[in-house]
Amino acid sequence: MAPVSNKEGFFPRRMFVGLILPVGLTVLLFVIATFFIAIPTYRDHLIDARRQMSRELNHTAWQLIEDYYQRHKAGELTEVEAQRRALERVRSLRYGPEGKDYFWINDMQHQMIMHPYRTDLEGVNVKDYQDETGLYLFQAFVDTVKRHGSGFVEYYWQWKDDTTRTARKISYIKEFEPWGWILGTGVYVEDVYTSVDRIIRQAVYGFGTFLVMIIALSAVVIHYGMRTEKERLLALDSLQESEEKYRSLFENSRDAIYMRNPEGVLLDVNAAFAEMVGRTREELIGTSIDQLYFQPVQREAFEQKLWQDGAVRDYPLTLMHRDGSVVEALISTSVRKRQDGSTIEYQGIIRDITEQKSIEKQMLQAQKMEAVGRLAGGIAHDFNNLLTVIIGFTELAQFRLSEDDSAYENLEQILKVAGRASNLTRQLLAFSRQQHVQPRVLNPGDLLKDMTKMLHRILGETVEFALEIEGDIRSLKIDPSQFEQIVVNMVVNACDAMPAGGRLTISLRNQTLEREFKTSGGTARPGSYVRLDVADTGTGIPENIQSTIFEPFFTTKEEGKGTGLGLSTVFGIVSQNEGLIWLDSTLQVGTTFHILMPVTEEEDDGRSPAQVSAMDLQGQETIVLVEDDHILHELLLRVLQRNGYRVFSSDNSNGALEIIDQRHDEIDLLLTDVVMPGLPTQAYLEALADRFNPGEILFISGYMERAESLKAFFDQQPSCMQKPFTPTDLLRKVREVLDRKLEKTSAATSGQNPA
């Protein structure tokens, strides 16, 4: 074997290309991702949340005006009286932590009709009224209404009732066309920009620290790499002698045979060895066997056992083929020594058992996925109980504080972290197919169009985005949030695959299958489907891991860069909705994910979330609360009572049934968890089914697989609510169930069809 020498300048150039250049690009991408993508996206997210709050509040007051208008149309009130009462009610409405935020009304001729804090403007034409930036804001209100009927305007206005202070504000304005009114309300966003500025300062400090650490670490790695490379080349130069023994047996063996030195450098291999790892004999000789180990930790354990025992027989290990595929094998190794006891070389035989292992893995895969799914659902259930308490008491604490209070911001951070934890539990539940959903008939094309602006923010400016919708897309029956979750997770995954930019194409079309359609992800039955394709021009996915990318917690990202739940969540949602997902991918070309979802012939029932969110959240009805978690029980009891409800409570099923039997005629709603101490769950549910109609019960649970089982006890599915939820979410759902019950009762009394 000829000596291998280190050529001048070879190693420093390789270190530059292999280490310094990637580190520099990583730092550059970090700066771009943080200061030009993440922080602006975070700011836009906060602003969008404030916009949504303003819109929902406006819808509430707008509905109140609509009620008086309908009373006028019904002849109950004159138009003047209806308008007077509507103005009085809107003038008295307040919201916000201090109860000082308000609504105002002007008309299409810029005449101020009502303003709680600026009565000096009432009856005045405010067309020429400007804020401190020179914006003619009331003219902007009218122009927005003329163009769109409603919309958002950002401007500066006095701080609530404080005429000495102005702050940045976003208002949602909407026209009440019958009376020619423009109704407006707004939320202040000055704190958002302050928060973003603080984050930028922290990011700059963190980036500086990170850069110093990277430079120091790079210097250490370069020094160690140069020393290691020098030692390796010197060792290769010293290995000149090789004696050929048993050459015929060596060359013709069906098992892989090798010889290596104590440092792990291959001295010789046979044809079977080269074929096993997908390389030529010439490529392998003189290189380290370390490069063939799929898991370096196996190398360390194997060497330790070999050093202790002097020989190893049928030791399991995992090698890596040149194409990236995994080779499962058993290795037997012995040592050849000199007379003085020093080691000359190691000789070994490796037997390929990949096919045998593959069969075993296939048999265990279904059991593993089921077990992980149950574990994920169980963890999410227990964690959701804790999150509900954390979120609930945090919101209650905020109600007692002003936004200027330092403790208020601390509580806001708790809510943000709890929200992130809630998203993680939703991903776990989506993967385990235990997520509680509210499927609606919807047009996926319309939903995709509405998401376009948000998707642009996710992708940033380095990725070109195209949305292709072919023809009149048919309807799906799916929870809208689940469909959005599919799209967002797929887009984020594609964006991560294109760190240097590229093109993302989302296409949507109808597809009819005349026969069974087989893919790597399963088989679709004949029928009508909507097909969603998400194609990127990224790095692609190696073939050897394509079968595992939908498994939970599997990720190719660096530690701390991802949870490994994105694609498994998509897989869980698609499966839960009886769909099919598969992919095509080519390295350095890109990846396309295909999703087939079955269409529905049902029609949209016309109900919208806005109608529910506009309900008055308070009431005077009687509610029986049944919850065994002491802290959560106390939270729910306090929230309901503070909002006017009369509540009887119990922490077990026996006590609950006793209250129900004593006060059955007084009870308007039963609020209970599915599984309670006392009676067995089946007996408890049977007792409830005997005493209540499904419309009189609201079940709460963190484990919605239990909620699905309620169908076996009731003639129709009762209302359910999944933990974690906020006090506002609870009040909205309680109000929704009570109002639906009242509508059915009124319809039955008048002889109408309650449907």
Write out the DSSP string of 559-626. TTS--S-HHHHHHHHHHHTT-EEEEEEETTTEEEEEEEEE----------HHHHHTS------EEEEE
Is 247-352 the same fold as 1-238? yes
Overall CATH class of domain 440-598: alpha beta
Tokens in use for 549?
A: 């990318």
How confident is the prediction for the chain on average, in pLDDT? 81
For residue range 194-219, list pLDDT tens digits in order.
777 788 787 777 777 877 887 777 77
- The domain ranges of the chain are 1-238, 247-352, 371-426, 440-598, 609-750
- pLDDT band, residue 614 (cuts 50/70/90): very low
pLDDT at 456 over 90: no
Distance of alpha carbon 435 from alpha carbon 429, whole angstroms:
5
How confident is the model over 490-515, as a mean pLDDT? 90
Record the tokens describing residue 13, joined without a space.
């150039």
- Provide the pLDDT confidence category of residue 718 given band limits of 50, 70 and 90: confident
> What are 26-74's pLDDT values in tens digits?
777 777 877 778 778 877 888 888 888 888 989 999 999 999 999 999 9
The pLDDT tens digits for 155-168 are: 998 887 787 888 88
Average pLDDT over residues 183-197: 81
pTM of the entire predicted model = 0.38
Q: What average pLDDT does range 664-669 have in this prediction? A: 91
The alpha carbon dihedral of 410, 411, 412, 414 has a sign of: positive
The answer to whether residue 606 scores a pLDDT higher than 50 is no
Q: Output the six-digit token pair for 552.
A: 């939970």
Greater model confidence, 327 or 20: 327
Give the integer Cα–Cα distance in Å for 92 and 97: 16
pLDDT digits (tens, 9 = 90+) for 395-449: 778 777 877 777 888 887 887 777 666 656 665 555 554 455 567 888 999 889 8
pLDDT at 357: 72
CATH fit for domain 1-238, picks 3.40.720.10, 3.30.450.20, 2.60.120.1440, 3.30.40.10: 3.30.450.20
Whole-angstrom Cα distance, residue 229 to residue 9? 13
Tell me the CATH number of domain 247-352, given options 3.30.450.20, 3.40.50.300, 2.40.50.140, 3.40.50.720: 3.30.450.20
Q: What is the pLDDT of residues 249-292, one digit of tens each?
A: 777 788 888 888 888 899 888 888 888 888 988 888 888 888 88
Residue-level pLDDT at 428: 59
Are residues 170 and 152 in contact, defined by beta-carbon separation less than 8 angstroms?
A: yes
Phi, psi of 468 (to 5 degrees): -120, 115
Per-residue pLDDT band at 173 (split at 50, 70, 90): very high
Residue that wins the pLDDT comparison between 91 and 725: 91
C-alpha 9/C-alpha 665 separation (Å) is 92
Q: Is a pLDDT exceeding 80 seen at residue 222?
A: no
pLDDT at 704 over 80: no
The DSSP element (H or E) to which 434 belongs, if any, is: none
Position 82 scores a pLDDT of 93
Whether the Cβ atoms of residue 108 and residue 180 lie closer than 8 Å to each other: yes
- Is pLDDT of 592 > 70? yes
More confident residue, 569 or 372: 569
Q: What is the pLDDT of residue 12?
A: 57
511-519: list long-range contacts, CB under 8 Å, 24+ apart: 511/596, 517/596, 519/580, 519/582, 519/594
- Give me the mean pLDDT over the 565-574 stretch: 79
Q: Which amino acid is at 42?
A: Y
| CATH T-level topology, domain 609-750 | Rossmann fold (3.40.50)
CB contact at 8 A, 289 and 263? no
pLDDT band at 175 (very low <50, low <70, confident <90, very high): very high
**Does the pLDDT of residue 361 top 50, yes or no?**
yes
* Helices 21-31, 190-238: inter-axial angle, 10-degree rounding: 170
